[in-house]
Amino acid sequence: MFDPVKIKAQHVDFFYGNQQALKDISMDIDVGRVTAIIGPSGCGKSTFIRLLNRMNDLVAHTVLRGHIYLEGQDIFSPAVDPVEIRRRVGMVFQKPNPFPKSIFENIAYGLEVNGYRDRDVIEERVVMSLKKAALWEEVKERLRDSALKLSGGQQQRLCIARCLAVAPEVLLFDEPCASLDPISTAKIEELILELKKDYTIAIVTHNMQQAARVSDRTAFFLLGELVEMGETQHIFTAPKDKRTEAYITGRFG
């Protein structure tokens, strides 16, 4: 039977030390759709999506309660290898973070650590993912140059390409356009719509228009709680909760 739910969070509480960052979050991320997560700064959006690929394992003194399932499998069960989860659930961060290596190596690295050995295959996949990330035309002449010489928007698309190369099933974007100009932002939004065909996507954003443009479903977080979640169209036209309405219309105190 086809299960439309890719990732399921059930009653998730999360603490940094004794400060609670997430309170009883339950939500589904549907397969093949874009889920936007919106909410004011500090409400726990990053914390939440960083749980989905176990990036918060790296933060000391944290406590998690509840469950997160990836295709029915509890990703926090002791039998699960976090490395394996991160292979299946890729992430693009708020600030572009290319490795201090060449453009080519930035992408080849992910392939190599995932067991690719054949240089031809690696080369082929590097080119393919650069094309997918709409960066190929701009860098095809200088694949051996340092990735740090690229502009911010190009670096972010390189990070997306790097993530796509290892073929994850889910893509997590944490404010991918936060440090980009409108043109780069438009390019990345276009890209997300393109990627939707092949991946399940979750995107954190502060930009209401962006959420409206790229997402199918939207979740509104406030102070660590999930206030409301539903079809993007509904959330933006007829929110059920007063607080959601206040936030999306910009009347938030």
Partner 1 sequence: MKRNFTQTLGFTFLFSSLALTLLVLFSIIYFIGVRGFRVLSWTFLTQAPRQAMTAGGVAPAIVGTFYLALIAILFSLPLALACAIYLCEYSPKGWVVNFIRVGINNLAGVPSVVFGLFGLAIFVKFLKFGVSMLSGGLTLGILVLPVIISAAQEALLAVPHSIREASLALGATQWQTIRRIVLPAALPGILTGIVLSIGRVVGETAPILFTAAAFYLRGFPKSVFSEVMALPYHIYALMTEGTHPKEQTGMAYGCSLVLLLLVLAISALAVFLRQRQRGRFHV
Torsion angle in degrees (nearest 10) through CA of 152, 207, 47, 18: 120
Q: Which is nearer to ligand ATP, 62 or 146 (CB)?
A: 62
- Give residues with Cβ within 8 angstroms of 126, minimum separation 6: 104, 107, 108, 111, 143, 165
Classify residue 15 by its DSSP letter.
E
Q: What is the maximal distance between C-alpha atoms in the chain? A: 56
* From the list partner 1, Mg ion, ligand ATP, none, partner contacted by residue 44 (C-beta under 5 to 8 A by kind): ligand ATP
Judged by beta carbon distances under 5 to 8 A according to partner kind, the member of ligand ATP, Mg ion, partner 1, none in contact with residue 157 is none
Q: What is the spatial distance between Cα 147 and Cα 161, in angstroms, rounded to a whole number? A: 12
**C-beta of 91 vs 211, nearer to partner 1:** 91
Site string for partner 1, 39-78 (x = CB under 8 A): --------------x-x--x-x------------------
162 binds partner 1 (CB under 8 A): yes
CA distance 69 to 134: 32
Asked if 82 contacts 74 with a C-beta cutoff of 8 angstroms, the reply is no
Applying CB under 8 A, the span of 64-72, 82-90, 133-141, 213-221 interacting with partner 1 comes to 82-90
Measured distance CA(74)–CA(66) in Å, rounded: 10
Q: Is 93 in the site for partner 1 (CB under 8 A)?
A: yes
Q: Contact between 79 and partner 1 (CB under 8 A)?
A: no
* Contact status: 36 vs partner 1 (CB under 8 A): no
Q: By C-alpha distance, which of 211, 185, 187, 175 is closest to 94?
A: 175
Contacts with partner 1, residue ranges (CB under 8 A): 53, 55, 58, 60, 83-84, 86-87, 90-91, 93, 95, 97-101, 109-110, 112-114, 146, 148, 159, 162-163, 166
